[in-house]
A and B are shown apart, each in its own frame.
Chain A
Amino acid sequence: MQMNKSETQSFELNLNVKSAVPIFEQIKNAIKTAIFLKKLNEGHQLPSIRDLALKHKINPMTALKAYSLLEIEGFLYSRRGSGFFVHVDREKVKKEKQGVFEKEVKEFIEKINDLGYSVSDLKNELEKRLKGK
């Protein structure tokens, strides 16, 4: 395991004020996305709770909650005194990514349905687009 102390890569954290998604979820999602996109690699040190709290003006407890949950889920580990580090478990990442993908698709289909289109309409539209490409 490489610990790149000098490279504390950041991830994009844009908090949505109006969103119904709780902040800790938003943090978790942002980190996971960054892991998915390979912006965060194994062993990269994440910003400390304090830095996160001060930078984005969030309650350190919330940041801690996000990190703790990620640790439980296995996406990061903590070293006492050093901080929090990314852990990339390929299987897990794959699984998670799959989960996200499925969820997005499901939500997309639901949205289409709400608009009044059927799944077959969706299929046709997709084919059209793919052909055009």
Chain B
Amino acid sequence: MIRIKNLNYWFGSKRVFENFSLEIRENEAVLITGSNGAGKTTLLRLMAGVFFPDSGTIEYGQALGKNPKAGIGFISDQISLYQSMSLQEAIDFHCQVHHIKEFDAAMLAEAKLDRRKKIKDLSVGQKLIFHLSLVLSARPRLLLLDEVLHAIDPYLREICIRYVLELLTLGRTTLVMINLNYYDIEYIPQRVIILRNNAIALDQPMDSLKDKVKKIVSKVEIPGLPTFHERQFTDCFEYFVYPFEKSIVKNIDCEVFDLNLNDIVTAFIGGEYA
């Protein structure tokens, strides 16, 4: 669906991406995560066409056709909109530009938004719901969501997730989302990419992730483990291992723990800081 090849990108004098490559298949649901400043938002913006790569290419699949932006739905963490427009005006404008014949206002109704209000008068969560309803109404083939869900209340968040899932049920959407909070979206992505130091530190299907990433706790030091993060306590050593094989811990006195996504990412980021 989208293929990034040898991307180089600078933000001012800081190099954000160096020979970065990534491929996302059609109808995949990908989660991109990592510490703040790892380049996630920049990557998403590059995918959305809001940033132009300094060198390298970004290719879009055939499903997106000649004008990729028509099939891309993008919400950045800044929730960029024409703030002085009323909701109705923004809807008309968005529909006209995206050639949407009928706007589905179910989401607005659930969130109890008055269309005559101006966008700037909405709360952050309401703005997000509105922006999302605009984006989803175009039935995008590629949906890019930046870390927007964390700052809104559970009621609105639930609505957002539900409507995104509704879109996914149509089976024609590729989802790339950036999230730092996995509590209620953990089952949605099929693939996880963790960015660390502006490069991909982990890229695994969700199904096999839990198999491959484990925490090993031992009272003694175990050298030679493929760890990405280690912690030392007074009474034990913790090793966050990736990739994990059963053979690694054969004949070693230790305990192996499963990790949830949050723990995995934390450990990865922790590794970055260490």
Contacts and interface: CB of A to CB of B under 8 A. Distances in A.
A56 B27 CA distance: 20
B186 A53 contact: no
B260 A18 contact: yes
Contacts of A49: 169
A103 B35 CA distance: 41
Interface in B205-231: 206-208, 210-211
Interface string A34-61: 0000000000000001100110111111
Interface stretch (A1-9, A20-28, A87-95, A125-133): A20-28
A62 B187 contact: yes
Interface residues of A, number: 22
A19 interface: yes
B102 to A, nearest CB: 21
**Which of under 10, 10 to 19, 20 to 34, or 35 or more describes the interface residues of B?**
20 to 34
Interface of A: 15, 17-25, 49-50, 53-54, 56-62, 64
Interface of B: 27, 29, 161-162, 165-166, 168-169, 171, 184-190, 206-208, 210-211, 258-261
23 contacts: A17-B186, A18-B210, A22-B210, A23-B187, A23-B207, A24-B207, A25-B207, A49-B169, A50-B165, A50-B166, A54-B166, A57-B165, A57-B185, A58-B188, A59-B29, A59-B165, A59-B190, A60-B169, A60-B171, A61-B29, A61-B168, A61-B171, A62-B187
